[in-house]
Structures are given as C-alpha cells and as structure tokens.
Amino acid sequence: MSAGHRRLDIEEVGDVTVAKFVDKKILDEGNIQIIGNQLFSLVEEEGRQKIVLDFSNVEYLSSAALGKLITMDKKVKAAKGKLRLCSVRPDIYEVFAITKLNKLFDMRENQEQALEGM
Amino acid sequence: MSNPEEFSERIPSDTARGREVQEQIVAGMEQRGFSPRDVFGVRLALEEALVNAIKHGNRMDPAKSVQIDWSLSDSEVHIVIEDEGGGFDVNEVPDPTDDENLDKPGGRGIMLMRSFMSLVEYNDTGNRLTLEKRKDEVDED
C-alpha cells in the first residue's frame, strides 16, 4: 500500500485547509494508519493551523478512527491551531455523542458554518 | 422467511476475513427487513468486536482462530464471538467518557457496542462475547 495514496481531498479556502475524507468506510487498520499520517502531516510538516475535516462521504467509522482524530486534535492544539469537524451524518454523529467526543471536538453542521469565524 | 437460521464460521486472525463475516451477517439482516439504523449498529458492533477478538484476543497470531456463531430471525440477531486469547476483565476497562479519559484512546469500542446492541455480554474469562440486537427497539434516551 502506497503511503502517497491520498485518502483526503485537500482544498484551501482563504487561510483554512479543508480536508475531506475520500472513503465511505474508515475501518481498515492500514487505511486508518494512512489517514492518520496524512492528517498529522498537515500540522507537523506543512504547519497548517486552521483545519476543517469534512465528513460528507463518511458512512462508517470505528473507534480506531476516533483514536486518530483524538490524536489529531491534540497535535492541532499543541500547535495552537484550530480544528473543526463538519458534515457528519446523523448515524456517525451518534457515535461521537455516545463517546462524548462531541464535547472534545468543535463540530459544525456544514462546511460553510465550519469556515465561519475560523 | 420466518424461520430462524443458524450459521457458523471459524476464521483465522485476519481482520479482512472478519469483515467478510460482518458483511454476511448484515446482508442477512437486510434480507429480513431490519432497519438501516439496526444494520448500522450491528455492523459497527461487529467491527469493534471482531477487531478486539483478532487484535487484543488472539494478538494477530496466525495459528489462532476466531469462532463466530450466529442465529438470525425476523425479530433478532444473536451473535457469539470467541477468540483463543487469555481474555480480559471488562470491568477494568476505563470509562472513555470520564473527563480525564476523553482524549485517550481505548474503551470506546465496548461502549459503542453497548449503546447500539440490545445485549452485550462477556463470559468470565473475557474471551467470549455475546451480542444481540432485537428489531425496532425504541431508544431509551
């Protein structure tokens, strides 16, 4: 599996980086590893500070994926940046709510709202 | 299709094989008219349960396998997953929603299973898990 195989669509909106997950299912461990590395490199290598993660495509994710998002949140906070999540469908939002991660993450309804005041 | 059906699979410690069984179970549920919400919950619970059995139970040992038995009726699906690991004490898993644990990994898989399934039960050793989902159950919360 190539590490360069992009699992995120990256778009610049002003000074904000919008990273959209390509996959419908974020389950496979190898895939989660790649996604994690691509997310972390946005902060650690590219020094991006304002990041929106767009979940429009995501229909399933597991607790292993949540682990990567938590790590991402820590890295962004350590870099004094801002991280927001958007367009999380109701089933998936429930996964965040059950695990109370909706309190940890700044979650917005859609991309427009996520970009507001970023 | 009103009669309950019973199934059994023994798979190696390979999450891709686990996912095939997962697909088989949810396809059966869809045929029997379980709601997309029920299917979502069972798929999520199976993902967590099978990854736990293969990674934490069998520690990815290719010599070990996971036994999956399930029965499916029009009203419920009942699944038993047994690995060949030493088990664990489910009561010792920290609560991932405690404020001090919120940003730590771990414990969320079991919590999600409990939330989405009607029944989640480990044997005393902790290497055999029973999952049950009854159709169209109204949420308590």
Asked, for residue A71, whether it belongs to a domain, the answer is yes
Confidence band of B99 (pLDDT split at 50, 70, 90): confident
Residues 52-91 of B with CB under 8 A from A: none
Residue A70 to residue B96, Cβ atoms within 8 A:
no
Residues of chain A with Cβ-Cβ distance to B106 below 8 Å are 67
Let me know if residue A118 belongs to a domain.
Answer: no
Count helices and strands in chain B by DSSP H and E runs: 3, 5
- Say yes or no to pLDDT of A2 above 50: no
pLDDT (0 to 100) of residue B1: 60
Question: Is residue B124 scored above 80 in pLDDT?
Answer: yes
Mean pLDDT over residues B25-30, rounded?
A: 97
Q: How many domains does chain A have?
A: 1
CB contact under 8 A, B37 and A91: yes
Residue A87 clears pLDDT 90, i.e. is over it:
yes
Q: Give the pLDDT score at B102.
A: 75
pLDDT of A1 above 50: no
Mean pLDDT, rounded, for A5-24: 94
Average pLDDT of span B30-52: 95
Contacts 24+ apart (CB under 8 A), A108-113: A108/A84, A110/A86, A111/A18, A111/A52, A111/A54, A111/A86, A111/A87, A113/A86
User: How much is the mean pLDDT over chain B?
Assistant: 92
What superfamily in CATH does domain B5-134 come from?
Answer: Histidine kinase-like ATPase, C-terminal domain (3.30.565.10)
Which of B20, B46, B47 is the best mutation test for A, with the most CBs of A within 10 A?
A: B47
Q: How many CB atoms lie within 10 A of CB A80?
A: 7
Position B40 scores a pLDDT of 96
pLDDT classification of B138: cutoffs 50, 70, 90: low
CA angle B91, B96, B102 (to 5 degrees): 155
Assign B105 a pLDDT band (cuts: 50, 70, 90). low
At residue B104, does pLDDT exceed 80? Answer: no
**Domain boundaries defined on chain B:** 5-134
CATH label of the domain that carries residue A81: 3.30.750.24
Looking at residue A30, its pLDDT comes to 85
Mean pLDDT of A54-75: 95
The whole domain housing A26 covers 8-112
Q: Is residue A33 part of a domain?
A: yes
In a domain, A23, yes or no: yes
Q: Which residues of A touch B48 (CB under 8 A)?
A: 62-63
Residue A103 with chain B: CB contacts under 8 Å: 102
Domain contains A84? yes
Using CB atoms, which residue from B40, B102, B109 is nearest to A63? B109
Q: Could you tell me whether strands B65-72 and B5-12 are parallel, antiparallel, or unpaired per DSSP bridges? A: antiparallel
Check pLDDT > 90 for residue A35: yes
A98 touches chain B (CB under 8 A): yes
Q: What is the per-residue pLDDT for B60?
A: 94
**Residue A3, domain member (yes or no):** no
- Is the CB of A62 inside 8 Å of chain B's CB atoms? yes
Classify residue A61: in a domain, yes or no.
yes
pLDDT at B134 over 70: yes
The arithmetic mean of pLDDT across residues B40-69, rounded, is 96
Q: In A45-66, which positions are buried (b, 16+ CB within 10 angstroms) versus exposed (e)?
A: eeebbbbbbbbeebebbbbbbb
- Given a cut of 70, whether residue B68 has pLDDT beyond it is yes
What is the residue-averaged pLDDT of chain A? 93
